[in-house]
Structure 1
Amino acid sequence: SVSFGVESGCPEMLKRVRKGITLAQAAEAVRMCKKAGMLAHASFMVGLPGETKDTLRRTDDFARSLDIMYGYHYLAPFPGTTLCEKVE
């Protein structure tokens, strides 16, 4: 199986956290796994900087559209990272 750290189903959030992928790329990667007979899983973050109810709803809509197992994880900024500096 393959697990993809998509992080968000909202293009603006992906840009904000400098993820470096698009939703189309994530969906295509999942499609390719399915085609190859592989199990795919996606993970998404809750609590990204600037997140709103709307961005969370969009993330949930995208996660469901993939038609695979997925999970949500709370953001935990690690010391020394850019994200941790923004939170402080």
Structure 2
Amino acid sequence: MSTKAFTHFHITTNKAICSGSPIIKGTRTSVANIAGFYLMGMTAEEIQRELPHLSLAQVFDALAFYLDHREEIDHELREDREEVVSNNFPPGKY
């Protein structure tokens, strides 16, 4: 039996959307966004209900992509969180 490499059918990148972060094709929904829901303990079905413009297959593919690229996406999530905190809570204001 031969082996064949498969890519993530529902995932793409576009420098003009989400700064080139992986997104679900045909949407502006990033894999990092899906990963954030997953890390909050949501199931794929719950994520799909929260984002009804996505199919369950798209959510599962985003989760598979996240698990295949966890280190990079976790880094992106940390950077985003730090940016939100620094923008909303500047030093020396408290």
Structure number having the greater helix percentage: 2
* TM-score normalised by L of structure 1: 0.30
Structure number having the greater strand percentage: 1
RCO (CA 8 Å, sep 6+): is it higher in 1 or 2?
1
* TM-score normalised by L of structure 2: 0.29
